[in-house]
Structure 1
Amino acid sequence: MTRTRPLLTGILLLATVAATQAVQQQRPPAPAGQGQGQPQDQGQAQGRRGQGPARDRAQQPAPQGTAIIAGRVLSVDNGRPIKRARVSVTAPAARVARATVTDEQGRFQIGELIAGTYTISASKAGFVDGIYGQRRPAQPGTPVQLSDGQQLGNVDMRLLRGGVITGRVLDEDGEPLARAMVTVMRYQYVRGERQLTPAGVDQSDDRGQYRVFGLPPGEYFVSATATGIAGALRGVAAAVIGGAGAGRGGPGRGGPGALGGGLGALFGAGAEADPEPTGYAPTYYPGVIAPSEATKIPVAGGQETTGIDFQLQLVPTITVSGIVVGTEGTSVGVTLLPDDGGAGILRGQMFRANTKEDGTFSIVNVTPGRYTAVARSGGRSDEPRAATQNLLVNGENITGLTLTLIGGITVSGNITVESSGTPAPADYSTFRVNLTSADSSAAAGPLGRFGGPGGGAGTRAEKNGAFTAENVLPGKYVVTAQGPSPWTLKAVNVGGRDATDQVVELRGGPDVNSVTVVFSDRSTQIDGTVRTAAGTPAQAMTVIAFSSDPLYWRAQSRHIQVARTNQSGAYHLQGLPPGDYLMIAVDDVEQGEWFDPSYLGQIKDAATAISLSDGDKKTRDLTPRS
């Protein structure tokens, strides 16, 4: 089964890409100069107003220079060269991305590079992906500054051999269960939030055996479902494409991960599901249904952890039926999303069906648990509408569930600038306003896809500074914005009140047309060098600047920024809002962990205080802290 995981991963990736393309959700590049740790672009709002001019998407020739990066890729455990490893160098600001493969001696060379700041990464099947300058997996790497004509050699990277988890999946009688989909998961930070995410997948063979390899050191959870590859594909696509198309086996009826439209045929949607009195629930090792009762499995680099055997649990299943009000005779998708209180992206098995012409629906074979029922209609050409309701499934059929579709609203306003001498922009179309979802419920992401990936909505400003985000569904949002240098966000006003960095709740009803976004050219800046106690530069350190007020300790906060020291130990931070901050340089932090309030609480006493006013440019040297 050693080849199964990359095959399944590729299939799942293709499913995700195909489904994403089906709804044509495009995410433009982040504005130039956007620092690490700042809010990210949340995608474009649907509709015609408020979007920037069409861009020429023709293939542009890659810029060529005279600089070279060369080195070797070696194994951590024995120092031997790794042949046929893939090495990539990227410089997002310069729009450069190049790749090559190591030779028999593990050597690589990438030439014709222009001057810029590059990230160098390497990968090979069976090893943990590595970034140049990493001290351990999951940490940020060290950027490399390259000048014109420079020949940077001896860039050696060492890859850690990945760990392995293997075992057997059994049925309720202790017999091997073939074609069970096994997922190995670990906690990671996604958009600044700690979530349970997949690290690898495999499908059990006729002996019930599975094997997942290439795992970074850490603690893992293992889950299994009896849906197989087709079920996994349906689940991925249903999560991505939302509510368009006919359900599995035709309108009005559905089951686990039922998928609609042409993609349903592509991914193997079969005949109409029949109600069954019992079914296999998604089960976690050592054989439990609740994620909170799952056992952690520690894995070291290169370690093979065997004997992770467990039985899938047979549970009673029920039917959820009801009506969606406001379908207007069209088929609307209804999805039951498992809601585990925010344990992670993988919340178990989804169930889905589509409405009949009269708006009724029936979802069969639903296993016990807490769910959020989500009904969605509309899409690229129609205004989106949605409805949600929480459900508790405990063994009894649920009938008469009523979901009333509510349309989105339009949020509009203007961008203004406060200048200390910089001419006001003649064209504001490079400015962007985002409504980032502040709702962590199970339905937040799927509902937000009407406006942008991951929850939320966004739009580019028009030339005169006006902006309009259409079809924003009701919910809680934080209004953020980005602009070209030297402009940084200063304030947000919604309906006459200050909403800067505050959660704004948008309710169904009247449009919101009184949003003012203020930019300033008085950007803050902090530069410095991190040196060891002996006074030598400390490279590959992570410098974290975070507000002294815990109110701002949240995912994607503007009041948290990070920078990575270069070969000289230097760092640069720009665009923090005025206020009081704490700063610290550390070498042991996971990517995105700096948004975690518990982590910031642990490091605050060892941090150095600094205050920033509008336009401040300060220098602060630091000493690494453990």
Structure 2
Amino acid sequence: MKAWLVFPLAWFLCAQAPEPATVEGQAVSGASGEPLKKAHVMLLTTAEGGKPPYSAATDAAGKFLITGVDPGHYRLQVQRNGFVYGEYGARGPGRQGTVISLEPGGRLKDLLVRLTPQGVIAGRILDEDGDPVEAVSVQALRYQYVRGRRELVPGRSAMTNDLGEYRLHGLAPGQYYIAASTPGFRGRMGGVPSGPRRMAAAEGGYLPTFYPGTVRAASAAPVDIAPGSEIRSLSITLQRARTLRVSGRVVAPPGTLLRGVGVTLLPRDGNWSLQRKGGPVLDEKGSFDIGGVAPGSYLLAADIWQDRQRASARLPIEVADTNLEGLTLALSEGAEVSGRIRVENDAPADFARLRIWLEPAGDWRMMGSAGASSANSDGTFRLSNIGPDPFHVNVSGMPEGFYVKSVRVGQEPAPESGVDFSRAGGPLEILLSPASGQIDGAVVNPKQQPVTGATVVLAPERREHNRLFKTATTDPRGLFSLRGITPGNYKLFAWEDVEQGAYHDPEFLKPFETAGEKISIQENSRATVQ
């Protein structure tokens, strides 16, 4: 009798499992159309907290086949040496592509991914006498939008060899600014960098220098890279200027070893990718000495991890016309905070995939994240080793239809400027609501034809609230869906091609404001637009 009960049940469960899907296609060169063999293909789920990607390699004909795929929504990425990585449906190299929808038992065929040949920039870094300089960092930077601000963002980088030579590869087509910068940090625990040219780079008073030879980013000459192009003689002469030194000691709590403490000097103007200087302390006493510092406003930071515990120090400084000596960085242990996630009206919710993470606020983003914590089954959590910086509290892995309704620290709402947990008292309380809004729609061109791969952006009325932005990419039918929307007033925009993150910049959005469609999202509202 038991056997008759077990086997039919097993058959029933197997019958209910969705039939896996299959994806097949081809990778080719976007320049020549030739098939690309040995390319690495990845199929990545768009679901939060999803499983590892499916992968395959292309054959001699550039073709690939991925089987046993669970139904769902995915992105298809392809990578190969000598080419810029690409996504299926993307409008350019390195851009986000189209989401692929796979039904149970579905078979997507003839997916074509065109990869763009990489660009290369090479040359030499010289001093004012025309001699090569070793151990100089050379970066290819591009203007991008970072949290609503247009900034020079570093991409590929390389160090010069003993002949002053560098080579930057893997460059996507576009406009670059090439900059060379020296370490500016004298000495390291365990030894001093060797070689006269290397020491000249560290001690020579050189400022970060842009091609063709200027210290001002606004005066730099852009370098245009076409698909597959190679520029092999782009040289930069480092610009010497009167620079200063910043020195002092790191002081640690009892029991903390100073060997391995890292000291970093970061400019407060946001141009930290080039002027960031630092390294480990000089000795067991915690001495540090940073050279090549131009006048300006900086943040001096020290951090160390020992026995899974973090200790940090922060000191804002102004460098004027003299060296700063005798500074003290007093390390303090990272903060800990406990908290609880609640659901409005005690509605049932699965906390299994919830993660609470801290995002550095404003200009403090240069200090990096403070880690994350999973929620327990009862919604409680604990965040540890939090640095002395302001952070925004974020939640990921929420069940579909949920949004963060409020965040409180103790009895007070979390400030919009971020929470400094080294000073804030009381536990965190995060309130989730299952009553989010949803927008479904389609993007069509003037001929009423669906637009594939268009970027749809839902921008909040108060544009400084970056976490309230929602984005989607239209599928092959021009359809999109935005879910988990926090109730409020918004505008809906759509572009066939737009630089990622540009829509966070209020100045960028100004010319498009009249074209945006106003939408008011209420709790549990569902809107359909076109």
> How does the TM-score come out when normalised to structure 2?
0.83
State the match for 2:369 in structure 1.
Answer: 455
Aligned mate of 1:88, from 36, 42, 65: 42
Partners of 2:290 and 2:131 in 1: CA distance: 26
1:474 and 1:456 map into 2 onto residues whose CA distance is 10
The structure-2 alpha-carbon separation of the partners of 1:258 and 1:517, relative to structure 1 and needing over 3 Å to count, comes to: farther
How many angstroms apart in 2 are the aligned matches of 1:122 and 1:360? 47
Residue equivalent to 2:457: 544
**Higher normalized strand content (fraction of residues):** 2
Residue aligning to 1:424:
348
| 1:603 is the counterpart of 2:512 | yes
Spell out the pairing of 1:308-387 with structure 2 (5 A cutoff): 308-315=234-241, 319-328=245-254, 330-332=256-258, 333=261, 335-339=263-267, 341-343=269-271, 346-348=273-275, 350-354=277-281, 359=285, 361-363=287-289, 365-370=291-296, 371-377=298-304, 379-382=306-309, 384-387=311-314
Separation in structure 1 between the aligned mates of residue 407 and residue 427 of structure 2, nearest angstrom: 11
1:146-545 aligned within 5 A: 146-177=102-133, 180-189=136-145, 194-204=150-160, 208-225=164-181, 256=185, 278-305=204-231, 307-315=233-241, 319-328=245-254, 330-332=256-258, 333=261, 335-339=263-267, 341-343=269-271, 346-348=273-275, 350-354=277-281, 359=285, 361-363=287-289, 365-370=291-296, 371-377=298-304, 379-382=306-309, 384-392=311-319, 394=321, 396-419=322-345, 423-425=347-349, 428=351, 430-441=353-364, 444-446=365-367, 454-482=368-396, 483-499=398-414, 502-506=416-420, 508-509=422-423, 512-545=425-458
User: Does the 8 Å CA contact 2:186/2:291 hold for their aligned counterparts?
Assistant: no
In structure 1, give the amino acid aligned to 2:500.
Q
Q: Which moved more, 1:278-287 or 1:134-143?
A: 278-287
**Pair 1:159–1:364, CA change in 2 (3 A):** closer
Name 2:11's counterpart in structure 1.
none
| Residue 193 (structure 1) shift | 6.0
Contact 2:406/2:430 (<8 A) preserved? yes
SS at match of 2:507: helix
Could you tell me how far apart the structure 2 residues matched to 1:463 and 1:569 are? 39
SS in 2 for 1:166: strand
Displacement of 1:545 after TM fit?
A: 0.7
Please show how residues 12-161 of structure 1 align to structure 2 within 5 Å.
66-93=20-47, 95-161=51-117
Q: Tell whether the 8 Å contact from 2:93 to 2:115 is kept in structure 1 after alignment.
A: no
Structure 2 unaligned regions, length at least 5? 1-16
Asked whether the 8 Å contact 2:175–2:223 carries over to 1, the reply is yes
AA of the residue aligned to 1:431: L
- The count of residues paired between Structure 1 and Structure 2 equals 505
User: Could you report, residue by residue, the CA deviation over 1:270-291 in whole angstroms, capped at 9, with x for unpaired residues?
Assistant: 79x9998635444321223344
Q: Which amino acid aligns with 1:163?
A: G
Structure 1 pair 69/470, CA: closer, same or farther in 2 (3 Å)?
A: closer
Give the Cα–Cα distance (whole angstroms) in 2 for the partners of residues 364 and 618 of structure 1. Answer: 57
Contact 1:142 1:565 in 2 (8 A): yes
Higher RCO (Cα < 8 Å, 6 or more apart) = 1
Give the drift of 1:377.
Answer: 4.4
Moved more, 165-174 or 566-575: 165-174
Check the 8 A contact 2:147/2:504 in 1, yes or no: no
Indicate the SS of the match to 2:429.
Answer: strand
User: How far apart are residue 356 of structure 1 and its match?
Assistant: 5.3
Deviation at 1:383, TM superposition (A): 5.4
Distance 1:502 1:176, change over 3 A: closer
RMSD: 3.4
Give a deviation string over 1:148-175, Cα, whole Å, max 9, x none: 3322221112222233323332222113
1:579 to 477, 480, 488: 488
1:588 match: 497
Alpha-carbon distance change, 355 to 611 in structure 1, aligned in 2, over 3 angstroms: same
Counterpart residue type for residue 269 of structure 2: G
Q: 1:577/1:66 Cα in 2 relative to 1: closer, same or farther (>3 Å)?
A: closer
Matched residue type, 2:417: V
Answer whether contact 1:64 1:112 (CA < 8 A) is retained: no
User: Deviation at 1:388?
Assistant: 2.0
Q: Separation in 1 of the partners of 2:384 and 2:160?
A: 46
Q: Equivalent pairs: percent with the same residue? A: 30
Instruction: Write the distance in 2 (CA, Å) between the matches of 1:202 and 1:404.
Output: 34
Q: Residues 457 and 287 of structure 1: is their aligned pair in 2 closer, same or farther, counting only changes over 3 Å?
A: same
- Superposed displacement of residue 416, structure 1: 2.2
Q: Secondary structure at the match of 1:347?
A: helix
Secondary structure of 2:485's aligned partner: coil
The amino acid of 2:407's aligned partner reads V
Conservation of the 8 A alpha-carbon contact between 1:412 and 1:466: yes
CA deviation string 1:316-371 (max 9, x = no partner): 56543323345437443252324161135x223523342756x5524154443544
1:614 alignment counterpart: 523
Using structure 1 for the length normalisation, give the TM-score: 0.71
Determine helix, strand or coil for the equivalent of 1:455: coil
1:4 paired residue number: none
Alignment correspondent of 2:3: none
Q: CA offsets, 1:442-461, max 9 Å, x none?
A: xx544xxxxxxx23454333
The answer as to whether partners of 2:120 and 2:171 remain within 8 angstroms in 1 is yes
Q: 1:459-515 deviations in whole A, cap 9, x for unaligned? A: 33333333333443333232333433343211223343334x823443744x52243
Amino acid at match of 1:308: L
* Contact 2:362–2:417 (CA under 8 A) maintained in structure 1: no
Closer, same or farther: CA 313–140 of 1 in aligned 2, 3 Å: same
